[in-house]
Amino acid sequence: MAETTLSEVENKTVRVDRADKETLLDAQGLTKRFGDILANDRVDLVINKGEIHALLGENGAGKSTLVKMFYGSLDPDGGEIFWEGRKVSIGNPAAARELGIGMVFQHFSLFEALNVVENIALALPNPGNMSELASRIETVSRDYGLPLNPDDIVADLPVGIRQRIEIVRCLLQEPQLIIMDEPTSVLTPQEADQLFQTLQRLAEEGCAVLYISHRLEEVKRICHHATILRHGQVVRECDPTLETPASLASMMVGADVASVSAGDQAPDIGETRLTLQELSAKAATPFSTALNGISLELRAGEVVAIAGVAGNGQGELFDAISGEMPVAPAMVHLDGKPCGNKNITWRRKQNAAFVPEERLGHGAVPGMKLSQNIVLTRHSTGDGLVGGGFVSNAKAADLEKRIKQAYDVRMSHDDPEARSLSGGNLQKFVVGRELDRKPGILVVNQPTWGVDAGAAALIRQALIDLARSGSAVLVISQDLDEIFEIADKVAVISRGYLSAAEPAAEMTRERVGLLMAGGAEAQGEVA
C-alpha cells in the first residue's frame, strides 16, 4: 500500500456525517494551564450519544488533561462544558459519575488481596447487599460478554480479567459516557476482539465512548469519529474509517511518520551473546510470578521479542537477566560467562544495557536531573563520566544534549528533573540513554509503552538498527504490532513459562494469542 503523505492528509476532503446523532457532551473553549505550559488551548469537542469517539494526539498533546476535566479530576481555567445541553461544573469524579460519566483508566485501581465483588463494592456509592451485588455482577458481566466470578481473588487473576472488573464496575454505575484510556494495551488479540464487541454493543444501546489509543489500526476499525490534538489544540476532526493509520499518525504529529524497516536482506546472525538455561525462580511475593525452566538464546544481529500479557513473569524475567534478582550462576550467561549471581554493574561492564518497564522510579530517579540520571547507569561503562572518584558534570551535560537531540526529547528547559517530562518524552530519554551506548547486548522491557506513533517509530527503528550493526536485542513487549514490526524471532511468556522462540515470519497473531492464554505454559511443561 502506498504511504499517505501529510500534504495529502491536509488536502483531503473529510466526511464527518454526524447530523443524525444527539449531542451528549459539548466542550467549548476548554483551557488549562500549568505554570508556563498551556496544556489545553481553547479546545472544542462534541461527543454524541451512541458514538465511539477517538481522541488522538502525540504524547504531551493534552489528551490526559482534557479527559481529567471531563471526569472532574481537574478544573478548567477557561471554557465551558455542556451535558445534554445544560451547562455543568464537574467538581470531582463523584460529580462526573453522578452525571453519567465513567472512566476506565490505563493503570488499574484494584486491591489485589480482595475479591471481585469487594473491589466493585468499594467503587459504588450504594453497593447494597453483597450477595445481591454479586448476582448483578454475574448478570451484567455475562450479558456484555465479560464474564466474572465475584468470588475470585484479584491477585489470582490475569490482567485481561482484571480489566473486565474495571469495565463491569463502570457499567454497574450505568454511565452514558465511558472514557477509556489505552484499553487494549494489556489484552490478547482474542480479548481485544471481545472488548470491541462490547463497545459496539454499548454504542448501539446509546452509550458514548471516548476512546484514547495509540493503536491506530483499532481506531480505524471501531471508532465512528476522531478528534486530533496537537500542542493542546484541536487540529483536525475526521471519520477514521476513511483514513489509514499512516494518515492518522501524520495528523497527530504534523509531519509524515517514517515507516519502520528491517531492510530487504536477512539479518547477519552472529555468535550467541545471551543464554538462559533452565532459568527458574520462586515468586518473591504473593503477588509476583515464579519463573519455570526458561531457556533462550539471543545472538548477535537479531531482535528476539517476548510477547505476553502483563503480569505473566515479564518483570521477574527482566530482573533475572539484568542482575536485580540473583539466580544460580549457570542460569544466565553473557558472552559465555555464567553470571546469574552477578550484579547489574558487572553486566554493564560486559557491554550489556537494560531498560526497565517502569521509567519513573526504576528507569530514572524523579527528583534528579537528566544528566545525573545518565551518570547512574553509565558511570562504569567507559564513557569518561567518572575519573579519579569525581563525576564530570560537563560530560554528563554533553550526553544529555546528545540524547535529547537524537531522540527528540521535548522539555521546557535544558537538563530538567526527570519527573518534569511527560511519560512519552521520559521514555524516549530512558531508551535513548542506553541506545546511545551502542551496547553489544540490549534488553528492553516495553520499549514504546505509552508513546505516540512518531516516537514509537523512532525507537523501533533504532532497535532494529542496533541489531543490524551486530548487537543482540531482546525486547519484552505487550504490543503485537510492535513485535511483528521489529522481531526476527518471537517467544511468548505465560504464567512464568516461556515458549520456544520461533521465526516471526512463521508466527500469526492467533497463535501468539493462544500462547498468551496458556499455550506457553503447556509448551514449557512439555519441554
Residue type, 433: R
Q: What's the confidence (pLDDT) of residue 522?
A: 57
Q: What confidence score (pLDDT) does residue 19 get?
A: 58
**Helix 453-468 and helix 423-435, axial crossing angle in degrees, nearest 10:** 10
Each residue's pLDDT tens digit, 428-471: 999 999 999 999 999 999 998 877 788 888 899 999 999 999 99
pLDDT of residue 314: 93
Alpha helix (H) residue ranges in 300-387: 314-322, 344-349, 370-378
- The reported pLDDT for the residue numbered 16 is 43
Q: What are the DSSP calls for 158-199, one per residue?
A: -HHHHHHHHHHHHHTT--SEEEEESTTTT--HHHHHHHHHHH
Q: Which amino acid is at 317?
A: L
Domains and CATH numbers, the chain: 6-13+52-74+93-253 (3.40.50.300), 272-351+439-526 (3.40.50.300)
Please tell me the predicted confidence (pLDDT) of residue 6.
36
Nine-digit cell at 507?
A: 508466527
pLDDT value for 29: 96
Most confident of 196-200, 225-229, 523-527: 225-229
Query: Which carries the bigger pLDDT value, residue 59 or residue 490?
Result: 490
The span from the CA of 204 to the CA of 346, in Å, is 58
| Mean pLDDT, the chain, whole residue set | 89
pLDDT in the model for residue 525: 52
Quickly state the pLDDT bin for 264 (edges 50, 70, 90). Answer: low
Q: How many CB atoms lie within 10 A of CB 390?
A: 8
Window from 82-91, 181-190, 495-504 with minimum mean pLDDT? 181-190
- One-character DSSP codes across 19-43: TTSPEEEEEEEEEEEETTEEEEEEE
**Dihedral (CA of 141, 145, 149, 153) sign:** negative
**Residue 412 confidence class, pLDDT cut points 50, 70, 90:** confident
Q: Is the confidence at residue 3, as pLDDT, over 70?
A: no
Q: What is the DSSP letter of 242?
A: G
pLDDT at 124: 87
Task: Specify the 3-state DSSP secondary structure of 229.
Answer: strand
Whether pLDDT at 15 is above 50: no
Between the CA of residue 285 and those of 281, 341, 421, what are the distances in Å? 12, 20, 32
CA distance 508 to 524: 19
Q: If 0-12 CB within 10 Å is exposed, 13-18 middle and 19+ buried, where does residue 146 land?
A: buried
Of the chain, the percentage scoring pLDDT greater than 70 comes to: 93
**Separation of alpha carbons 69 and 64, rounded Å:** 9
Tell me the CA end-to-end span of the chain in Å, nearest whole number.
41
Residue 192 is predicted with a pLDDT of 83
**The model's pTM:** 0.74
Q: Is the pLDDT of residue 25 over 90?
A: yes
- C-alpha 510/C-alpha 506 separation (Å) is 12
Give the pLDDT score at 120: 94
* Cβ pair 76, 235 in contact under 8 A: no
Is residue 256 within 8 Å of residue 250, measured between CB atoms? Answer: yes
Cell of 275: 543464554
pLDDT surpasses 70 at 17:
no
What is the per-residue burial (b if ≥16 Cβ within 10 Å, else e) of 348-371?
Answer: bebbbbbbbbebeeebbeeeebbb
The three-class DSSP label of residue 232 is coil
**Angle formed at CA 198 by CA 196 and CA 203, multiple of 5 degrees:** 95
Contact between residue 280 and residue 332 where contact means Cβ atoms under 8 Å apart? no
pLDDT of 2 over the 50 cut:
no
Contacts of residue 268, defined as CB under 8 A and 6 or more positions apart, other chains included, come to: 301, 468, 470
Widest CA span of the chain, in angstroms? 73
H or E segment at 121? helix 116-123
Say if CB 484 and CB 300 are below 8 A apart: no
pLDDT (tens digit, 9 = 90+) per residue, 350-363? 999 999 988 888 99
Using CA atoms, how far apart are residues 33 and 88, in angstroms rounded to an integer? 20
**More confident call, 186 vs 508:** 508
Half-sphere exposure in the Cβ direction for 395 (13 Å, CA): 12
3-state helix, strand, coil in the chain (%, to 5): 35, 25, 40
Q: What is the pLDDT of residues 126-166, one digit of tens each?
A: 888 999 999 999 999 988 888 899 999 998 887 778 888 98
Query: How many degrees, rounded to 5, is the angle at CA 309 between CA 502 and CA 482?
Result: 60
- Please report the pLDDT score of residue 5 as a whole number: 39
Arithmetic mean of pLDDT, 38-50: 96
Q: What distance in Å separates the CA atoms of residue 361 and residue 273, rounded to the nearest whole number?
A: 29
Q: So what's the pLDDT on residue 521?
A: 63
User: Given this model, what pLDDT does residue 207 score?
Assistant: 95
Q: Please give the residue that has the higher pLDDT: either 185 or 251.
A: 251
For residue 200, pLDDT beyond 50: yes
Q: What's residue 423's pLDDT?
A: 76
Q: Read off the pLDDT of residues 270-321 as tens digits, 9 standing for 90 and up.
A: 999 999 999 999 998 877 899 999 999 999 999 999 999 877 899 999 999 9
Question: What is the identity of the amino acid at 84?
Answer: E
